[in-house]
Amino acid sequence: MLEQLERLPADPILGLAAAARADDNPDKVDLTLGIYMNEEGVCPVFRAVTEAQAALAAEEVSKAYLPPEGVAGFNTGMQELVLSADHPALVDGRVSSVQAPGGCGGLRIGAEIIHAASPGARVWVSDPTWPVHLPLLGSVGLSFETYRYYEPASHGVNFDGMVEDLRQARSGDVVLLHGCCHNPCGADLSLAQWQVIAEMAEAQGFMPFVDIAYQGLGDGLEQDAAGLRLLAARLPEMIVAASCSKNMGLYRERTGATIFIGRTRDNAEALVSQALVAARRVYSMPPAHGALIAGRILGDAALGESWRSELVDMCGRINGLRTSLREKLEAASGRDFAFIEKEKGMFSFLGLSAEQAIRLREEHSVYMLNSSRINVAGVNARNIDYLASAVAKVL
């Protein structure tokens, strides 16, 4: 039976990252994977994570399963981090959540709930979007429509096109939105544009499903969640998938949550009951380590202050890299790269063709996706001049 299965190609992003690791060129530049790297090219461990982990190791006396909904302090902390402690939906008791294996698990549980509520629901996704959105949601059985989002000519949001397309979304449809730091383009909605989407959702009856995987890496924890919070204050229901992979560096711990805003307190509790049944058939029980660490950080004033301070520094470094990269590319090529400085988070399209991206790999050992999407956090003081020179040579 099994011998008839054929070898499948590697994931495009993971395959490129593997090729970069295998490249023996000492000047190679890997801008593929969406992982934060510091100046030394290392994905760092937050000081608060180290302290929380040490305390956990000293105190932990059991490896029994967590409750199905996960760590209580983590769930509460994530609700307040994403929405703010005084958000009207939280004050009204209309918010519930379950811990999930990373942001991917949060998305999958959200998809399971959507399918249970409305198997024929259409999910509107941005063009482009994170490629894994489609298998995560589509494997449940949901169907997709796309809305225009990124405009290559302006390197910004095609908001008129987005609105025109979403005029076709109807009651019972779901609109998947990136909460901040859009992956892969880095072009984010303004608060005024979030307001327009909220008004459309009210009038047309579609439900937002917000993926917020990079809170704190754009303009700051509060600013990055402003659009999501606006939706949650105005609309009767929505779903949020949140992740601690990026803003706490807990990539390998798979720490995330699905947050539900229901129409009533009873509705919010019903949604959790549905989520627990879905989780039981997908992954059974949630992983403990990352959520116990994140819960400590979110619930402890000193740890929380340390984490927020380090996250501010990380965000500042990314934004500083954007400025430096713009200046280096413009100096090397004589072309306009101002858009890089206007974008948010770790990602940007450089505006190169697939042929130019391939030449960068083959001739200069500079690795980026064929779309020219780069991870800005992969840039550092040691490689930025080489990167700018290489890009200029293929333009």
Residue 340 lies in a domain: yes
Q: Has 194 been annotated as catalytic? A: no
Q: Please state the rounded mean pLDDT for residues 92-112.
A: 98
Instruction: Determine which one of 211, 224, 328, 344 is catalytic.
Output: 211
Give the pLDDT of residue 120.
Answer: 87
Query: Pick from 245, 275, 299: which residue ends a domain?
Result: 299
Find the DSSP H helices in the chain: 12-22, 47-59, 72-83, 88-91, 102-117, 133-138, 159-166, 191-204, 221-224, 226-234, 265-282, 289-299, 301-333, 338-342, 354-364, 384-394
Mark which of 262, 280, 299 sits at the end of a domain. 299
Confidence of residue 124 (pLDDT cuts 50, 70, 90): very high
378 found inside a domain: yes
**Lowest-confidence range among 5-19, 168-182, 206-220, 225-239?**
5-19
Could you tell me the pLDDT band of residue 388, with boundaries at 50, 70 and 90?
very high
Q: How many domains does the chain have?
A: 2
In the predicted structure, residue 12 carries a pLDDT above the cut 90: no
List the catalytic residue out of 165, 224, 246, 344: 246
Integer Cα distance of 241 and 87 in angstroms: 17
User: Catalytic annotation on 328?
Assistant: no
> Does residue 51 form part of some domain?
no
Q: Each residue of 148-199: pLDDT tens digit?
A: 999 999 999 999 999 999 999 999 999 999 999 999 999 999 999 999 999 9
Mean pLDDT rounded to a whole number for the chain: 96
The number of CA neighbours under 13 Å toward the Cβ of 213 is 27
- Give the model's pLDDT for residue 213: 97
Judged against a pLDDT cut of 90, whether residue 334 lies above it is answered with yes
What residues form DSSP beta bridges with 99? 257
Residues 6+ apart with CB under 8 A from 192: none
111: confidence class by pLDDT, cuts 50, 70, 90? very high
CA angle 371, 376, 381 (to 5 degrees): 130
pLDDT of residue 304: 98
Instruction: Provide mean pLDDT across the span 315-340.
Output: 97
Residue 13 predicted with pLDDT over 90: no
Residue 56 in domain: no
> What's the rounded mean pLDDT across residues 125-147?
96
**Does pTM top 0.85 for this prediction?**
yes
- List phi, psi (to 5°) of 123: -110, 120
One domain for residues 151 and 76 = yes
Last residue of one domain, picked from the residues 237, 269, 299: 299
Question: What single string gives the DSSP state of each residue in 111-150?
Answer: HHHHHHH-TT-EEEEEES--TTHHHHHHTTT-EEEEEE-E
Q: Quick check: is 52 in a domain? A: no
**What is the arithmetic mean of pLDDT over 305-315?**
98
pLDDT of residue 208: 98
Residue 15 pLDDT class (50, 70, 90 cuts): confident
Length, in residues, of the chain: 395
Helix (H) or strand (E) segment spanning residue 347 = strand 347-349
Residue 231 and residue 279 share a domain: yes
* Tokens, residue 71: 């760590």
329 closest CA partner among 369, 366, 370, 362: 366
Residue 254 has pLDDT above 90, yes or no: yes
pLDDT tens for 53-85 read 999 999 999 999 999 999 999 999 999 999 999
Cis amide prior to 135 (ω within 30 degrees): no
- As a whole number, mean pLDDT of residues 363-385 equals 96
- The reply to whether 211 belongs to the active site is yes
pLDDT at 238: 98
Which two three-digit tokens encode residue 336?
Answer: 């306009």
Instruction: Identify whether the C-beta of residue 183 lies closer than 8 Å to the C-beta of residue 146.
Output: no
The C-alpha atoms of residue 210 and residue 168 are separated, in whole angstroms, by: 19
- Measured from the Cβ of residue 308, the count of other Cβ atoms closer than 10 Å reads 16
> Looking at 28, 30, 124, 130, which residue is catalytic?
130
Q: Provide the pLDDT for residue 9.
A: 86
pLDDT of residue 339: 96
Residue 377 maps to a domain: yes
324 pLDDT more than 90: yes
Q: Which domain holds residue 197?
A: 65-299
